[in-house]
Amino acid sequence: MFYEQRMTVPDSPADLRAEYEDDLATIVEDRGPSAVATEIDVDRARLDTLVDGDSPELSLEEAAAIQSLGDGEPDPETIETMALEHLLLGMSTAVLDVDAVESELDLELDAKEIQQKLESRAPMSFEEFVHVQYVIADGAP
C-alpha cells in the first residue's frame, strides 16, 4: 500500500508506481470500474486505463479514494494524511531536506513546491508522490 512507510524501493520510480497501480487496479477490478466510479470522484475512463495496466493521471487524493475501497482500509483522508506523514518521517530518517529531495527528483518541482505538497498546502499528483517517495526511500540508510 502506497501510504505505508517505505524503507526500500524497486529500481525506478516507474517500477514503484507500477507496484502501486497493480494494487489499485486489483481493488477496481474486484469492485468493478462502474461501481468505483459511482462511489468516488474518478471518471470511468481513467479507472479502465488503470485496470488495463496503463498509468492514468491521478491525484494523490484520487489514489487514496481508490485505496480506501479495499477491505479493512481507512478512509481516504486518513490514507492521504498517513502517506504524507510517512514522507516527512522518511525525510527525517534519511536526513533529507526539500533541497536534497529536489536535487534528486526526476520531476520539475522546486523545493518550495515540494514543501507545499508535503504540507498539503498544494495538491499532489500520484506521479509526484511516487517520485518523492522513491527519492526519500532510496536515500534512507
Structure letter (DSSP) for residue 6: P
Percent of the chain's residues with pLDDT above 90: 93
The rounded distance, in Å, linking the Cα atoms of 33 and 43 is: 9
**Every domain of the chain and the residues it spans:** 13-74, 77-138
Pick the closest to residue 13 from 122, 101, 119 (CA basis).
101
* For range 32-41, the mean pLDDT: 94
Question: Is 120 strand, coil or helix?
Answer: coil
Q: Which tens digits make up the pLDDT trace of 73-117?
A: 999 999 999 999 999 999 999 899 999 999 999 999 999 999 999
